[in-house]
Structures are given as C-alpha cells and as structure tokens.
Chain A
C-alpha cells in the first residue's frame, strides 16, 4: 500500500495536469468562466428556498444558510461520484495503452470537484453577512470536516470506478442511489423533523454526520459535537480504505476488462 501511494506521488504532475485540464476545458470559451461554479449553487439555493420556505412553509430559521451548509457538501459528493464512476471506463484508451497508477484518474476527478466545492464556499461569505452571522473561531474547523469528507468521497469514487469496469450497470445503479440518498439525508429537511426515538437511525446514513458537522459550524457557529466528529473521522477513513483495497485488487485486470 505504501509502495502504491509512493507510485501515485511520482505522478503528481500528471494529477496536477489532469485537474488543470478539466478546469480549463470546462470553462474554455465561456464568458463567465469560473463564475458558473458560483452561480450554480446560488441558483439552487434560491430555488429550494422559494420552494420549501415559501411554498411548502417548512419552519426553519435562516433557511438559505441551513440549506447551503448541507447542499454544497452534498453536491461535492454527488457530482464527484457521478463524474468519477466512469473515470476509468471513459479513459479506456489510455488505460489500455499506457501505464500510470490508475488511481490518478478518480483522484483527479475528486480534486477537480474539491476545487469547485471550495470555490463555492465563497458564496458563503456574502450570504453570512446578509443573514448577520459572524464567522467565529469554529469556522477553522471546516477544513477538518472538508478533509475527511474528501477521504470519504475518494473512497466511494475509487470503489464505484473500479466496479464500473466490471459491471456496466454500476453507473445507472449509482444514479438511482444518489437520488434516494439525497432524500434520506437531512439536507433540505431538518433532523428534528424525525421523531426523537428514530433520530439515531438517521445516523446510520453516514452522510448525516457530515451534514450535521457542517451545520454545527456554519449555522450554529460552534464546534461539532464529539459523537458526530468521531463518525466523520471514522467513516472517512473506512471508506477510503475500502475503496483503495477494492480498487487495488480490481485494477489488475482493468486493461483487459474495459
């Protein structure tokens, strides 16, 4: 495993190039360029706020910030997974013809999306000011949560992209799963909507802890509680281990199976 990581590190310049290429190609020729990365989450928040606060009348204080603090991390997860699942199969030509550590492909997708994710946090600053929330010391803790979420996302992307080579249904299965997962996670609904005794079950969904951690920091301006933080750290590491192990085992036959 250590050798593998070292091998990937040797190709860091390739990772850098792939990330840069994806960013460049995405915005090449568009006038607004990177602004699209900001406009997209902003627009989603406006739509969901109108729909849930004013149409469905869900009673949550600071609804846009409430939504924002969960929706952006969710977008990071879901867009990485739906882009990353085909990262090996789509680069089949490359995988069949040239050697490089195959982890580089899903990893660069994760990094591209991480970049967008961090950028979209920029929208947060004016929004917080607008809702008169002053970012406190706890905001520094965001970096920790983002880090473990990245491990979590990377693990799942490795897993999905490796399985996609062997089973063509993985991509479609993932699409359905993501949709379901979105509604099972307290993103647009507050956790306290669930009756007290069932609330623990919601934590069986590993992403619930991440959402709650982000909310503790952004919405309540406080350190996430230790229970939630433990789940975040453990699921992040476990997901990465699982993904990396499956990937390493499966990647030996990538070139013949694609």
Chain B
C-alpha cells in the first residue's frame, strides 16, 4: 500500500526584488496595462516522482537548497505544487517547528492542549495522551507554570513531546531529532524506532547521515531540485558523498580523487591531519591488472598509494569493506596484524592481499585510513569512498549471503 504518492511535481518560488512596493506596482500595472517586473522565479523542485510505501521510513538528503525541506512542506500541505499532484493516505503530523504556537503567558498544560489541537487532535485524544506527553517531556513539576518561565531547552522538549506523541499515520520530521540533552535524544530515537515497529510511515529530512542510515529503509538524494538517486541508504549516502566531492560519477578514478582532494577537505567522509595523505586506492585482480571487478574465490589485492610530507613514525594503515547495505564485513589494520611500519617519507604504497576472496557477487564499499600508533590521531581517513564489484566465479557455487567459506558437508547415519 502506498502512503505517499508524488506525481510529476514541480514547485517554483518567487524572489521579490522589492517587497514594499508590491501594491504600488500592482496598481501601476493596472493603470499602464502591462506587467512590471516584480520578481524572478526559480524552480525549487522539478519533475519529482516518488512513491513511499506504508510502514516504510524514507529519508531525504541533499545540500542546503536542494529542495528537501520543500518536498516535506509539500507533503504536509504547507506549500502547494505548481505542477503535479501529491496524494497522502492517513493522518499526517509534521515535526518541523517545535513549540510553534506556544503562548508565553499560558501554562505548559494549556499550551500542550493548544499545540496538540494545532496538530489536529481532538479534545478526547489530547485528554488520553496528556499524561504520556508530559511524562515524555520530563517536565511534570513545571507543567502548571507559564512557558515564559521555561528555558529554551524545556520549551523544545515540551514541543517535541507533543509532536511525537500524537500518533499519526505519517510522520514528517525535519532536522529536529537533535534536541535536548543526550538522554532526551536517546528517548527520541527510541520513540522513532517504536513508531517504525508500529508500521507508521516516516519521512525524514536531515543532514545527520548517521541517523538517516540508521533509521531509513529508502533514501532519496536531491540535487538542485531534482531527484538524482533513490535507493538503499548506503547507496544514496555514498552517492551524496561523491556529490559533495564535486563528482557524481560512481566510478571515481584515482586521478580524479587526487584532483578533488582540495574540495573535499571538509567533507564528512574524509578527515585527518594530512601529514601523510592517501593519494589513491587501486584494486588488482589475480593477474595484477587494475580493475574494479574481482571474482569470488580468486586473489585480490588493494594498493593504497600514499605521500608523506614529513617523516611519519610508526603509522598504522587500515582498511574496511562494507556491503552495499552498509554491513561492516571486515576492518583489518597493520597494527593488529603485527605488520610494523617503522616510518614513512615521500611516496609509496601499502598493499593488502587476500589469496582467495570470500566475498559473494555484489557491490562493496571500501574505506582506507592512516592513523598514528595510538589509533586516535587520524592522518588521513577516507570513509566508504571507493567501490568495487565482485563477480560470479565458475568454480565457487555458493548462492546466498555475503561470504563464501571453504567448507565441506558430511553425513553419518545411525
């Protein structure tokens, strides 16, 4: 069953050059019988088609101004599309502005009632949920004080408690999960998980990619008002990472990564002090040829090219391999495996070798990093930046799962 159906939606915004002279121009236009230019337009969303199934959690990611908040507002009918249609099935609640509509002179209790009714609850529903809301906020002892006496944290907590406890069919969330102290945040995430379990449809707009990855079943990546990627969280997120690096090509080549280094220094998927840098990663097949296609059961080598700008004592190289669903399959490093590198200077590469690759066919993501000996000081860390494919082997006949273990069967009858 579809909870939200977005068909061919486009939305344009007007940007006014001069707000004050609005009426003056309107009158002048009538008098002159022609249109003076008051505003320019831009398309915040263009030709979007999305279906979100009931019970699923969908995430929208993208840069600021990519249109992700606009799409949320269209779903909640705060905005109307210029073209296309949106159909939603079920009661919607929007967590955009917490405590919107709170009146400072009224008590917390009175404001809970008003706020809940703004979100569409009836009197009996509020009565039923009141205790739960107050308990969730942890503000039992302040609930009969005017909210003007609340701290901003208390204010937001109360607002959040109302919004999350109204039990909608569809919950729209815009960047508000990071409220309150840590224990309150945990409570919020727990509540979201409860709603997920209860088969509620949740739409989630956020910059917090970790939460998106944790919570969402499907992620939509928007860029300049267009939907450019839709799929599993890890796929969309890594595409977003590539986008942030200025390249939306999935097959990022070594040369490009070097060129892009300057642009991504602040990107979320690369960090470190850069006294030594990873200048590229190359995958090699059993014949030592550079390739992104490896075969199950065959030899697999990864070459991590580095350049050290000063003498680096006892660096630790590490890698990680993830499935395309984000499962961390392996994460070895040189220190743990007793491979000691005394020091580095200048260019070179570190090689990681597997005699017989146990991974089943599919797409995998690859991280590489250089740390100091303590493991707490990153020189250069690239998180899930590279991608390689594993193809089917003629000799390995396993069919299911992520890995293929050398194994044999036996039977003993008694």
A residues with a Cβ closer than 8 A to B are 10-11, 13-14, 16-18, 21, 24-25, 28, 91, 93-100, 166-170, 252-253, 255-256
Query: Would A97 and B105 count as touching, CB distance under 8 A?
Result: no
Query: Would A13 and B122 count as touching, CB distance under 8 A?
Result: yes
Q: Which residue of B lies closest to A10 (CB)?
A: B120
Query: Would B119 and A28 count as touching, CB distance under 8 A?
Result: no
Which residues of chain B have C-beta atoms less than 8 A from A170's C-beta? 23
Which residues of chain A have C-beta atoms less than 8 A from B26's C-beta? 167
Query: Would A93 and B117 count as touching, CB distance under 8 A?
Result: no
A11-B120, A14-B118 known; A25 and B80 CB under 8 Å? no
Shortest Cβ gap from B60 to chain A (Å):
17
A94-B101, A256-B13 known; A168 and B118 CB under 8 Å? no
Q: Which of A11, A14, A166, A168: most chain B Cβ within 10 A? A: A14
Which residues of chain A have C-beta atoms less than 8 A from B23's C-beta? 167-170
Which residues of chain A have C-beta atoms less than 8 A from B77's C-beta? 99
Shortest Cβ gap from B9 to chain A (Å):
14
Q: Which of B89-97, B202-210, B335-343 lines the interface with chain A?
A: B89-97
Q: Which of B106-114, B128-136, B218-226, B240-248 lines the interface with chain A?
A: B106-114
Which residues of chain A have C-beta atoms less than 8 A from B20's C-beta? 168
Which residues of chain B have C-beta atoms less than 8 A from A252's C-beta? 80
Q: Which residue of A lies closest to B172 (CB)?
A: A99
Q: Which residue of A lies closest to B26 (CB)?
A: A167
Which residues of chain A have C-beta atoms less than 8 A from B78's C-beta? 95-99, 255
Query: Would A21 and B79 count as touching, CB distance under 8 A?
Result: no
A98-B101, A256-B79 known; A25 and B114 CB under 8 Å? no
Shortest Cβ gap from A128 to chain B (Å):
37
- The binding surface of chain A is classed by DSSP as helix
A253 and B79 CA atoms in complex are apart in Å by 7
A167 and B73 CA atoms in complex are apart in Å by 24
B residues with a Cβ closer than 8 A to A are 13-14, 19-20, 22-23, 26, 73, 76-80, 92, 94, 96-97, 100-101, 103, 105-106, 110, 113-114, 117-123, 126
Known: A24-B106, A25-B105, A170-B23. 6 other contacts (CB 8 A): A11-B120, A95-B78, A98-B96, A98-B118, A99-B76, A167-B23
Which residues of chain A have C-beta atoms less than 8 A from B103's C-beta? 21, 25
Shortest Cβ gap from A163 to chain B (Å):
10
Shortest Cβ gap from B219 to chain A (Å):
24
A11-B120, A17-B117, A99-B94 known; A28 and B79 CB under 8 Å? no
A11-B117, A17-B117 known; A99 and B92 CB under 8 Å? yes
Q: Which residue of B lies closest to A93 (CB)?
A: B100
A94 and B120 CA atoms in complex are apart in Å by 13
Which residues of chain B have C-beta atoms less than 8 A from A94's C-beta? 100-101, 118
Shortest Cβ gap from B161 to chain A (Å):
16
| 5 residue pairs, one from A and one from B, having the closest CB atoms | A97-B97, A14-B117, A252-B80, A167-B23, A99-B77
Query: Would A93 and B97 count as touching, CB distance under 8 A?
Result: yes
Q: Which residue of B lies closest to A95 (CB)?
A: B78
A97 and B73 CA atoms in complex are apart in Å by 8
A170 and B23 CA atoms in complex are apart in Å by 9
Query: Would B96 and A97 count as touching, CB distance under 8 A?
Result: yes
Which residues of chain A have C-beta atoms less than 8 A from B123's C-beta? 13, 16
Q: Which residue of B lies closest to A167 (CB)?
A: B23
A17-B113, A18-B114 known; A97 and B100 CB under 8 Å? yes
Shortest Cβ gap from A221 to chain B (Å):
41
A98 and B99 CA atoms in complex are apart in Å by 11
Query: Would B94 and A97 count as touching, CB distance under 8 A?
Result: yes
A13-B121, A18-B114, A255-B73 known; A25 and B100 CB under 8 Å? no
**Can you list 16 A-B contacts (CB < 8 A)?**
A10-B120, A13-B121, A16-B117, A17-B113, A17-B114, A25-B103, A91-B101, A93-B101, A95-B78, A96-B78, A98-B76, A99-B94, A167-B22, A167-B26, A252-B80, A256-B14
A126 and B123 CA atoms in complex are apart in Å by 38
Shortest Cβ gap from A36 to chain B (Å):
17
Q: Which of A14, A18, A98: most chain B Cβ within 10 A? A: A98
Which residues of chain B have C-beta atoms less than 8 A from A99's C-beta? 76-78, 92, 94
Which residues of chain A have C-beta atoms less than 8 A from B22's C-beta? 166-168
Which residues of chain B have C-beta atoms less than 8 A from A28's C-beta? 105
Which residues of chain A have C-beta atoms less than 8 A from B119's C-beta? 98, 100
A167 and B20 CA atoms in complex are apart in Å by 8
Query: Would A98 and B100 count as touching, CB distance under 8 A?
Result: yes
Shortest Cβ gap from B265 to chain A (Å):
35
A168 and B122 CA atoms in complex are apart in Å by 35
Which residues of chain B have C-beta atoms less than 8 A from A100's C-beta? 118-120
Q: Which residue of B lies closest to A14 (CB)?
A: B117
A47 and B258 CA atoms in complex are apart in Å by 85
Which residues of chain B have C-beta atoms less than 8 A from A21's C-beta? 103, 106, 110, 114
Which residues of chain A have C-beta atoms less than 8 A from B92's C-beta? 99
A99-B92, A167-B26 known; A253 and B80 CB under 8 Å? yes
Q: Which of A21, A25, A167, A168: most chain B Cβ within 10 A? A: A21
Shortest Cβ gap from B71 to chain A (Å):
14
A21 and B78 CA atoms in complex are apart in Å by 24
Shortest Cβ gap from A154 to chain B (Å):
20
Which residues of chain A have C-beta atoms less than 8 A from B126's C-beta? 13
A57 and B123 CA atoms in complex are apart in Å by 55
Shortest Cβ gap from A103 to chain B (Å):
13
Which residues of chain B have C-beta atoms less than 8 A from A167's C-beta? 22-23, 26
Shortest Cβ gap from B166 to chain A (Å):
12
Shortest Cβ gap from B177 to chain A (Å):
16
Q: Which of A13, A166, A170: most chain B Cβ within 10 A? A: A13
Query: Would A25 and B106 count as touching, CB distance under 8 A?
Result: yes
A13 and B22 CA atoms in complex are apart in Å by 36
Which residues of chain A have C-beta atoms less than 8 A from B121's C-beta? 13
